[in-house]
Amino acid sequence: MAILKVIEVLANSEKSWEDATRNAVKQAAKSVKNIRSVYVAEQSAAVKDNDITEFRVNLRITFEID
């Protein structure tokens, strides 16, 4: 039986929501091992002068505990 843990992470990118998600996984992987999945709970964007300046994601990362 595997024991899984879930952490909530906020991340951003100037390119896209997908890039923000990748950034979150890369950053989390520096201290968390055995990442199994990512669930994007929320997406938002910052706007300035009628243009999107930043994409933001709130996601949950699931990983297995040894």
Q: Within the chain, which residues score under 50 in pLDDT?
A: none
Predicted confidence at residue 31, as pLDDT, reads: 95
> What CATH number is attached to the domain comprising 25?
3.30.1660.10
Domain that holds residue 45: 3-65
Sign for the pseudo-dihedral over CA of 41, 18, 53, 24: positive
Predicted confidence at residue 29, as pLDDT, reads: 96
Q: Which residues contact 5 (CB under 8 A, 6 or more apart)?
A: 62, 63, 64, 65
